[in-house]
Structure 1
């Protein structure tokens, strides 16, 4: 009887030890460096920035402007210049589309849907979004010219210059950043293949 009691106590102590060893241990993590501690341009360190361009054509297929895109370490800088007479004065929706094809002049449907399309997720103000192709509206002045610069963290240059490319589209009306599927922006009036 004493042998069984000793064996039982021994087994109980082993079980207690194994349970103690199985307890989760707090992992030691090195803190992330602060932004000011990272090397930057002052230290001779520059990100590998990808550049792309697009010739923007209007409803009749003639060039009305250009887009220049610069990929940085944390997002994408987009600069657009539209010549006088290029657009109807006022606000216009502006989106990045998933296919680099503007060959169907006048409709520009060959450019497909938005980059990073999410069902029900269009719009910069949408709690279910935004999509990768959502960017702020562009304003055309009284002469139809526009100058525009925007920055987005929703898309990366690498996905824009993938196998099927991408396009930048201008719509006839402004994007309200909520209504599905394109913010009520209306027809596509200008298109540029991102190269």
Structure 2
């Protein structure tokens, strides 16, 4: 019995000593009230991450990408939380709850999920921070979820329905933080 009590005391002491420390996985976890999408290419290789947080009726999106072809790429929030390779068409169309046309330069636009283009450098890396001007995480993450898609070509920011942004290179399903 004494040995059991001594072992229990050591376990409690070890637990108290570790209190306040954070593992790398926990540090990378999103904050409450956020949504995260781990982006993968058609081969399933992880190529980045998107984090969304809600601020005053807008969604702040921060995207970090790597191992993608250099150049300018369209990037959008899509309506379905599915990213089936190789073409990611299961992610559906752009998130568009107000029924507008595509693009910030379209007088009848934009979709709620329209974003500026993402520039990928010669090193295969790029980042983008943007406020989706309307919407909430609850609205974006409805019953069938949402995904972030990076396209092969630049978005012209005006042509409906997708800005001529081409094939889908990478996709990530948003999950609650």
TM-score range, shorter chain: 0.7 to 0.9
Partner Cα separation in structure 2 for residue 58 and residue 185 of structure 1? 16
**Structure 2 stretches lacking a partner, 5+ long:** 1-31
Normalising by structure 1, report the TM-score.
0.70
Which residue of structure 2 lines up, in the alignment, with residue 55 of structure 1?
38
2:49–2:65 CA contact under 8 A, matched in 1: yes
Structure 1 counterpart of 2:73, from 74, 92, 113: 92
- Pair 1:133-2:116 in alignment: no
Greater mean deviation of Cα atoms: 112-121 or 71-80: 112-121
1:98–1:114 CA contact under 8 A, matched in 2: yes
Using the TM superposition, give the Cα deviation of residue 132 of structure 1 relative to its aligned residue in structure 2, in angstroms.
0.9
Q: Deviations over 1:58-107 (max 9, x none)?
A: 12111111111111113111111112xx21111100111000000x2120
Structure 2 counterpart of 1:109, from 69, 79, 89: 89
Normalising by structure 2, report the TM-score.
0.77
Partner Cα separation in structure 2 for residue 111 and residue 63 of structure 1? 17
Using the TM superposition, give the Cα deviation of residue 183 of structure 1 relative to its aligned residue in structure 2, in angstroms.
0.7
Partner Cα separation in structure 2 for residue 117 and residue 191 of structure 1? 20
Largest Rg, 1 or 2 = 1
**Structure 1 stretches lacking a partner, 5+ long:** 1-48
More contact order relative to length (CA 8 Å, sep ≥ 6): 2
- When the two chains are superposed, the root-mean-square deviation of aligned CA atoms in Å is 1.6
2:59–2:135 CA contact under 8 A, matched in 1: yes
1:57–1:65 CA contact under 8 A, matched in 2: yes
CA spacing shift, 1:120–1:80, aligned 2, 3 Å: closer
SS at match of 2:74: strand
SS at match of 1:158: helix
Partner Cα separation in structure 2 for residue 61 and residue 79 of structure 1? 21
Using the TM superposition, give the Cα deviation of residue 174 of structure 1 relative to its aligned residue in structure 2, in angstroms.
0.7
Partner Cα separation in structure 2 for residue 163 and residue 119 of structure 1? 18
2:57–2:135 CA contact under 8 A, matched in 1: no
Partner Cα separation in structure 2 for residue 139 and residue 171 of structure 1? 11
1:131–1:154 CA contact under 8 A, matched in 2: no
The runs of at least 4 consecutive aligned structure 1 residues that moved more than 3 Å come to 117-120
Using the TM superposition, give the Cα deviation of residue 155 of structure 1 relative to its aligned residue in structure 2, in angstroms.
2.9
